[in-house]
Amino acid sequence: MSELEILYKCDSPYIIRFFSAFFVENRISICTEFMDGGSLDVYKRIPEHVLGRIAVAVVKGLTYLWSLKILHRDVKPSNMLVNTRGQVKLCDFGVSTQLVNSIAKTYVGTNAYMAPERISGEQYGIHADVWSVGISFMELALGMFPYPQPLQLLQCIVDEVSRRLMCFCI
């Protein structure tokens, strides 16, 4: 399922609104609503009361996608847009996919936000998007990415983070 198909199919206040698409110099350009606050990756530490409202919008957007059997697969702060009215919407469905039997298995997305099962090459479902949301909210709450950077991070996620997170939650 292409990004255009997903955008055309979606009708949710938590998903960026699609207007049209056209070719420019052999490239497809997509016209969507303008979110004048930009993406959340440019903001520093976000206060808890604001982050709570962001979390509600992001989870509602993902729940809507999942109801259509669509897995985002690239949830991260740069794919969460905000406007000056306080609306938060998900965008960038370039690596999203249609779920078949609630399972996906291809390796796409941004490594730093990937769930352990995705990095390990195992099958995955909506819980992989949930992992990415958790990492994203930690980053927004802390004002910085919560773990070591790329190469160290991949191994850390698979070997260490799951165990530490489990201990933290118990």
Catalytic residue among 36, 74, 129, 159: 74
Buried (b) or exposed (e) across 2-27, using 16+ Cβ within 10 A?
Answer: ebeebbeebebebbbebeeeeeeeee
How many CA atoms lie less than 13 Å away from 27 in the CB half-sphere? 4
CA 46 to CA 72: how far, in whole Å?
A: 23
The CA distances from residue 157 to 58, 116, 135, 148, in Å, are 23, 6, 11, 10
Active site (annotated) includes residue 74: yes
How far out from the chain centre does Cα 117 lie? 16
Question: 17: which DSSP letter?
Answer: P
CA 153 to CA 119: how far, in whole Å?
A: 11
Report the SS3 class of residue 106: coil
Residues that are catalytic: 74
